[in-house]
Amino acid sequence: MEAMRIILLGAPGSGKGTQARRLAREFKIAHIATGDILRRAVEAGSALGREVAAVMNQGGLVPDTVMVDLIADRIVQPDAARGFVLDGFPRTVDQAMALEKLLDRMNLSIDHVFHLNVPEEDLVKRSVGRRVCSQCGRNYHLAGAVPRHPGRCDECGGELRERDDDGEATVRRRLEVYEDSTRPLADYYGASGVLREVDGTPAPDVVYHSVTGWLRGAGRR
């Protein structure tokens, strides 16, 4: 199969991470989750981590210049040569334009953009009950996708933690930021014909099948 470059758009808690992990595994492409990269930097106490910790904790956006540098380094790594699924980037129209320029220079482009749609109250519930594996990043939920052993990841045994920005007030702030800065990307990609609106409310398996159904159909054309 040809290289595949995918963007997942969606509000916090819409299921981007869960879908992106599975897509990356199945299509053997890189899963590039900017939030995970930043959280690791914060945990490691690196210069980048120290720069972004406060804004992340408040649910704000890290400056575009920082994010564009980060993504420019990441998409040229060997594991991204067969393609990638971007989870959490771009988050502003300026980031999307910068990404397009980076890819243009490499003679590449984005093939598919999926926008996962979930109503706001469900988003709050999903984020507030979320637990994330501190080792592999897999997501769980207190009222749904519970792990087999409390507090431990089914896949790697890592410790499950609550994200610092998943408290209700911060989640609501992140949703506002999404509406103001990120939702306009649906129009941006809609205009270029690569956007696919996906109902993100059903179980993860159902969402996954609607995404892959589209990918396989598009691949056959």
The set of catalytic residues is: 16, 91, 130, 163, 174
3-state helix, strand, coil split of the chain in percent (to 5) is: 50, 15, 35
**DSSP character at residue 179:** I
> For residues 10 and 221, which CB has a smaller minimum distance to ligand AMP in the complex?
10
- 59 counts as binding ligand AMP under rule CB under 6 A: yes
Q: Which stretch binds ligand AMP (CB under 6 A): 22-30, 83-91, 102-110, 136-144?
A: 83-91
Q: Could you tell me which residues come within 8 angstroms of residue 123 by beta carbon, excluding any fewer than 6 positions away?
A: 11, 12, 13, 14, 171, 175
- 128 counts as binding ligand AMP under rule CB under 6 A: no
Contact 29, 83 (CB under 8 A): yes
- 133 counts as binding ligand AMP under rule CB under 6 A: no
Tokens 């989870």 correspond to what residue?
87
- 15 counts as binding ligand AMP under rule CB under 6 A: no
- 56 counts as binding ligand AMP under rule CB under 6 A: yes
Residue 216 DSSP SS3: helix
User: Residues 23 to 52: which contact ligand AMP by CB under 6 A?
Assistant: 34-35, 38
| Identity of residue 64 | D
> For residues 43 and 218, which CB has a smaller minimum distance to ligand AMP in the complex?
43
Q: Which stretch binds ligand AMP (CB under 6 A): 86-94, 110-118, 144-152, 205-213?
A: 86-94
Task: Give the number of other CB atoms < 10 A from CB of residue 47.
Answer: 9
* Contacting residues toward ligand AMP, per CB under 6 A: 12, 34-35, 38, 55-56, 59-62, 67, 88-91, 95, 165, 174
